[in-house]
Structure 1
Amino acid sequence: MRISHLVLVLLIAAALCVIPAAANIGGDTATIYVTSSPSGADVYDSGTYEGTTPCYITVYTTGTPISHDITVSKNGYYDYHQYVGDVTSGEYITVSAYLTPVVQNGYLDISSSPSGANAYVDGNYKGTTPLTVSVDSGSHSVRLEKPGYNTFYGTYSVSNGQTTYVSATLGSAVSYGYINVQSSPSGANIYVDGNYYDTTPAVITVTSGTSHNVKLVLSGYNVYTQTVSVGAGSTAYMNVNMVSSSDAYLRITSTPAGAAVYVDGSYMGNTAYSSGSSVSYLNVGPLSAGTHSIMLKKDGYNTYTSSVTLSPNEVRTLSITLVQSSPTPSGYAALSMDSTPSGAEVYVDNVFRGYTPLYLSDISEGRHTLLLQLSGYNDWTEYVNFAAGQTVTMDVPLTTAVVPTPSQSSFPILAFAGVIGLAAALVLRRTN
């Protein structure tokens, strides 16, 4: 009898264990549809991997309610989170994730012996050593100057999130000599031991007792190189006839001047200062025919980026106006808009905001309609999604509008015929 009671108790306990499990069984479902910009991001539902965007998540709703917390993750972008909570049967929920890129930068830790040297990165003064400078990832030139010591030059590569250390020992000042450089035609850029100095004709001061590599670069001509040795206090002379080439070149000026110029990611020098009557250009080349990326950077101004396609023997002149940067208010995005040609009217959601080139720092988060209008050119419009803290940079090539040729109206002929007919009728009337 006791055994029978024990069996009954065990059966009841087993039944109680089965009931909660059965409560989770059912066929009713809901759907969570997840997209991202850019697509191809990993999707997690409360920590469980569900696939890559665009992604459909099927949720069973018959059982115990479960809260859903969606995370969208992609390398190079900040994670996107959206809490969905409980869902009901048949519900269709859309999660649209606009991913914000992670800023790609690193650091240069610059020191010198002795310390207190003036430090320049890509031609821009940054302070005195020792110091740490935040820079974009990529290649950067470093120059250290201190009175009574030789100038230090170096090029360093910086990786995203990493620190590159620059430790320079400055040698005491030594005896100098001179190199008198002339070219035909003149205006060639002079590089001595890989560092830019001036344009021809010019006299360059160099350390004596060592050999120096002198390079002349002029748009439309082959690069000329020569090794020169100079004695203390003496002058070596170079008079070079430049030879025409099939390479392409760029002539770049900026407003304001002093911007660091990068072509295909490599630092090329800084734009020169121009007067009102004379424009000075930074000559870049030789470059191969084809498409090249252009970037200009200057402290206090938005970074300018564009691309140019060069033909063989082409010398392209670029005059670039930099837009002064301003802090983007919290919760807003920024828009850096330019057009070719410039001077186009800019409308955001059909509201006039100014003329290209234009920088706006008060764009609300979300989707906006951009419109460019310029007389003689076709209107350009596009829908753009903005994320808080993001700066969207656009350089729009406008297309020339085609004006239809008006057809000649028959109205003048018909009107003239009517006048003749009326005159004839009056004559007949008088004769009758």
Structure 2
Amino acid sequence: MSELIVREALGERRFTATDFPIAVGGQGSAIVMAGRPEGAEAYLGLHEDQLFVQPADGAEVLHNGVPVRNSTWLRSGDVINFGAARLRLLAQRDNQRVVEVDDGSSGNITAPPIIDPSSRLAGGGEDDAERIDALQFRPTGQVQARPGATLDVKKIVIGLAAAIAAVVLWFIFTATSVAVRTDPAEAVVDIEGSLPALRFGDRVLLRPGDYLIKATREGYSPAQLQAKVTDESNQSFSLKLQKLPGRVRVDVPTQARVTVDGKVLGDAPGEFTIAPGKHTIVIAAARYQPFSGELEVMGEGKSQTYKPQLVPAWAEVTVTSEPAGAKLLVNGEERGVTPLTTQILAGNHPIELQLEGFKSWTTDVQVKANEPMSLGPVRLGLPDGKLALRSEPSGASVSVGGVYRGQTPVSLELRPDISHNVVLTLPGYEAATRQISLAAGENRALSVPLSGVFGEVTVQAQPADAEVFVNGKSVGAANQKLRLVATTHDIEIRKTGFVTYKTSITPRPGVSQKIETTLLTPAQAKMAQTPALITNKADQQLKLMPLGSFTMGSPRREPGRRANEAQRNVQFKRPFYMGVSEVTNGQFRKFKSEHRSGIVGQHTLDLDNQPVVGVTWTEAALFCNWLSQQEGLPPAYENKNGRLVAVQPLTTGYRLPTDAEWEWAARYQGGGKFRRYPWGDALPVAPRSGNYADVTARLLVQDVIPDYDDGFAATAPSGRFPPNPLGLLDLGGNVAEWVHDYYTVSADSSEVAVDPTGPADGKQHVIRGSSWRQSSVTDLRLSARDFGDSQRNDVGFRVARYAE
């Protein structure tokens, strides 16, 4: 048969011998029958150009009305039923077979009656004979012999052979060829399962099902895997056997520690179990140089010996002396008497020879591993004399024959029977010289008084009752003249409640010197040590503000006064810095690059050197937190319930100036005086005193200052106008400024508020200072207070922070 033609409702399909077996059933099958469950219910097979049908496991298939469970040959006219669906095998034509598919959807088709298989097999005639031939492909049941039949042994043997052949053919046609490979390939493979396996080289015929595949080989650990065999082609399974570890005996001449691949295995000589392959072995043994090498282990449970060549870490050193019999010490350890050969580890070692009645001899020797060396003969000399030298005062430098030998008190060893020139020097004292000669082994003590050289130092200090200490010793009250030895002295001036003043001075004969100081309180000292000017990561300068107290607000009768300018006494105790200028667009865009301050009329507000505007109080506070983060400072603001609020107590991080700090810095004039306006205490507006609503702003604002021209209709670049007495810019004019405090209206109070930070809660924040939009007396005053909760094109901000 060259091909099988399948006729379906939508046309014909053609299958060749390579397409078999062909699955028949529901969705997913090669021939799909309408209304059938998903998956194959039977397979059409081809053997020696003869078609057969094989039901799938558990499927109900009828062949010419007879239920079938095994493979069954097909002939022309046969009908195969799958529920309401059918296959009909039409007559063969031109070496082609035709199968017509009827899925039962086109009307009723007469089906052959369902016949009990046993009744059909018991009948006679040609039809029955043909049916028996077709059934030889599947397992057969018991068939009753025909009456009168005689037993023929030959026929029985032939029948058994045919049955066996049919079973073998059934197994071959229904089994799957599976490849089983092992590494190494010489392993013995055993397959366990409910059905037998036929092997052909490295391939095995197996019926679909579950199997346990095992592989063994001497010297390897057994391997196994659970395999699920299906009817798919080209299935393969691989098993890799692992070599067993090897037994390695490490043979060394002394006890040593063995390390393989960084893991300590134990002490050698000894035997170790090591995984097969290449390894790095390290051997550490006392008195031997560290050894490192490559070890290749055969594995497979085999034994091998590894014998490294350890190199000694010592050498033999021979020492001789004249006279002989001197005691030899190496690193302070006694080794014996000369002449002597001893083993010394490689490296630098101090060696000493001692013999009673002779001077000890010492040297350092550099020993190289495994290289013998000799010392001597060493000639031992007579013992030195010993001089115990003291001076008054002590600490004098001593030199013998021009060579420095230490400071008094000192013990000197001098060559015997020779005159030595001994010189003692001490700053502020005259040098002293002595000629000393000692006999061999003589011990002598000598004390030398030193004559001082003096200078005068006058000490003046405030407070006058402060106490003066010289080199830690009290010499009385300040404001006195001291006579001191002409050497360096440590001077301290102390008084309770003040920071101690410390200095050093070296008096000089004939030259009068003076120490003059005013003691500071701890607070004054801390302020003195705090930098007056700092620069932050946004290139902004901040100045340290003076501390003090003032009356905040304005008197009730001051022209232009508002009701929110209540007077109260404020004192500043905590040092703080204030930004010299307002934050510019360029500086703010380092934090928020997309910010734009906009334009007003035909005038831009967005140049890098113009003050930033169009920012909310929250954006200004977030900029402060960002700046603190850049410098590793604790943030001054935190998020609580979706709102940005001040951390309590306030940290040293960057923040907005408080309402009180802003007014203190803006009105401060020095000498206990405070300004009413940015330029002074009276109107009119002084020329070039700031950027206000001037004649150039007539097209932008309704009210302007008559006859005043500052040169800028809107915002001016930072720093275009003179600073105030504290060196701060634009506290009046240019832009108004957000400050730290929540806005509130309070009554006048006589109580002193120390470092106030405003109300604990509120809805709006205070705005201080006049801007380019303002011209009225009310707004130009430095005590004026505004408020808001949204951005404006004339409101910006400057930063502040506590110094500690």
Q: Which TM-score band (shorter chain)?
A: under 0.3
More strand by share: 1
Larger Rg: 2
